[in-house]
Structure 1
């Protein structure tokens, strides 16, 4: 009987320990790491839960997992070679030791509340700034995002905060939204009557924020953005400037043409308040213009790092191809994956 059970019985739960915080939990057979962590009430970083956004990227320190969907659909070869997995797609096949930052600050725990859309500004031909008035003040870390639902529906879209946070929280929340043709919300925003809609927000979410611990205080920053990916970087850099963070920084922003370059007033204000060196490099991939650099935005990583000097850390926000190219460029230049942080902007078309 014991042999029968060993061959055909239910597999015992696998024990998971998460570093550096020491969180631990048991994962039942057939469960993913993320599924169990969320049931345990842990603020494990995640968004899409289907393996496309990369938010639950986790380093596997020891043990074995089975991937429901191959991790390589989302993670770069550099990340796979370094042992990274996606917690939402990982079923433990043994006890595990993982490395990921799990949020633990109760002061910025997520909340859900109603909100009104009170302002819309055109930034480019396909990006708008939205200002929401929430029923409750929300606290967040610079670089994080909120989830937005509209007209009582179940579907949500994720948009990054586009302004530095207030220490006491803010009920006025700003974000940038790029038009995705055929997108349920962005079509409403660009061609419908968005001010008449009802909204619910929940947040904050995400593990994209400036790491500025003792070991990172002097590391230069190379920031790379595309499209509405400027939103979390503006939030992060505004906050860093307000806190008098003294680290040299170059912000690279990629667009197809001159009409895609925006938020220059906000960036100029950051430059004026920055306490170290700060450069902004707009880069056009399809047009040539006397005022801007030309080429793919990630093609200018080498020149930026040469100016910044050794020891830089990378922060990137934008579409998946840009993030993947950026990871490759930064690691080829010698930056460790542990010092590369990103928010990969996906839309509904990439989530199945």
Structure 2
């Protein structure tokens, strides 16, 4: 199948076992080409940080855009493993993609902003009414584009679904959006009322979410990283039984906390046999503020409230929080019991990945 030079439509990407095929644009990564053409490759960040898009090259040649050794060591690289988000085709390519989710349909549909509700001083809940219903799993996300915007129409922003799925195609979806200084999408959304504006949504994407492995659950969320965790907890609360679950909700000060009443209701209605414990942790709260809850970093309190070695971890939030928690768990919790989604913004990435 291999061609050493692109045809009139560019090199072709084929995903094995009937996963689909498409033409790639010049300079386009395998992952971006797949997403653009509705071909499912598990992924989260699209920047080479999470490792979720690890695949195996069966045929063809690629060029790596950056060092991927933190997810693919030299031995694995020799066997053909790569990150699809950091690989550009140098010939026609055949990939083996693990963990496909063939029961879900990837759709791209227009919709209109139904409401933008204040959650705290810099986070809003964005509700969108879609023209076509979508089925997703708690923990997944969608890519949003703003119709008619000179920069945001063609460059999507990624946001996690913030409510539990209904288990059937649903037309209303909700997201938590944090204001990022200099962020084109968030500054556009926060500038004035955008109710009624047309948004294009593509999803569901990503494979973050609850795995029922019989272990206790520990969630660590920071900022708008609470969105997929909240959706996951809502999903778990609808089950006949739920595991012992602890949520550490990290924030700087009390004004950065949100959804506490929702979390309290989930805590009260938790189906058991375990319990849900919600623990806000403030890292920069004034000493004389009257706050009598936990202070410092979330990792400082893990052993006090849970048994890390016997738990499965779900981490969502900014990279420093994720990295600190991963370092804390290293050597104590097997990697396959740690699931995480780094929430990147303009402060962590180039503008195009804000």
Instruction: Give the TM-score range, shorter chain.
Output: 0.7 to 0.9
Most deviating of 266-275 and 289-298: 289-298
CA–CA distance in structure 1, aligned partners of residues 52 and 239 of structure 2: 28
Deviating more after overlay: 227-236 vs 314-323: 314-323
SS in 2 for 1:155: coil
Alignment of 1:1-352 (within 5 A): 34=31, 42-46=39-43, 49=46, 51-54=47-50, 56-58=52-54, 67-71=64-68, 75=70, 86-90=83-87, 100-105=98-103, 108-152=104-148, 153-195=153-195, 197-212=197-212, 216=213, 218-274=214-270, 275=272, 276-287=274-285, 288=287, 289-304=290-305, 307-308=306-307, 310-332=309-331, 334-348=332-346, 350-352=349-351
Change (3 A) 1:40 1:164: closer
Please give the TM-score of this superposition, normalised by the length of structure 1.
0.78
Contact 2:308 2:329 in 1 (8 A): no
Shift of 1:250: 0.6
Equivalent pair of 1:117/1:132 in contact (CA under 8 Å): yes
What secondary structure, in the 3-state scheme, does the structure 2 residue paired with 1:43 have? coil
Confirm or deny: 8 A CA contact 1:56 1:87 kept in the other structure: no
CA distance in 1, matches of 2:207, 2:162: 15
Shift of the 343–227 alpha-carbon distance from structure 1 to 2, 3 Å rule, reads same
Whether the 8 Å CA contact 2:57–2:82 is kept in 1: the answer is: no
Distance 1:37 1:168, change over 3 A: closer
User: Cα 1:335–1:131, aligned 2, differ >3 Å: closer, same or farther?
Assistant: same
**Residues 302 and 67 of structure 1, relative CA distance in 2, 3 Å threshold:** farther
* 1:209-268 deviations in Å (ceiling 9; x for gaps): 1112xxx1x211110100000000000110011013421111001111011111012111
Q: Encode CA deviations 1:104-157: one digit per residue, 9 max, x unaligned.
A: 21xx21111111111221111100111111112211001111111113311211
Aligned partner of residue 195 in structure 1, secondary structure: coil
CA offsets 1:157-185 (integer angstroms, 9 cap, x no match): 11111111001222111111000011111
Relative to structure 1, the CA distance from residue 22 to residue 137 in structure 2 (aligned partners, 3 Å threshold; closer, same or farther) is closer
Partners in 2 of 1:113 and 1:97 — Cα distance? 27
Q: Distance in 2 between matches of 1:290 and 1:257?
A: 9
SS of corresponding position for 1:149: strand
Match of residue 3 from structure 1: none
Secondary structure, aligned partner of 1:71: coil
Partners of 2:163 and 2:230 within 8 A in 1: yes
Name the CA distance, whole Å, in 1 between partners of 2:301 and 2:53: 26
| TM-score under structure 2 length normalisation | 0.77
Structure 1 Cα separation of the partners of residues 109 and 330 of structure 2? 41
Runs of at least 5 residues in structure 1 that lack an aligned partner in the other structure: 1-8
Higher percent of residues as helix: 1
Q: CA deviation at 1:100?
A: 4.2
The Cα shift of 1:294 comes to 0.7
Q: Distance in 1 between matches of 2:300 and 2:101?
A: 34
Structure 1 position 46, deviation (Å) = 2.7
**CA, structure 1 residues 32+160, in 2 after alignment: closer, same or farther (shift >3 Å)?**
closer
Q: Distance in 2 between matches of 1:250 and 1:82?
A: 37
**For 1:65 and 1:53, how far apart are their aligned partners in 2?**
19
3-state secondary structure, aligned to 2:195: helix
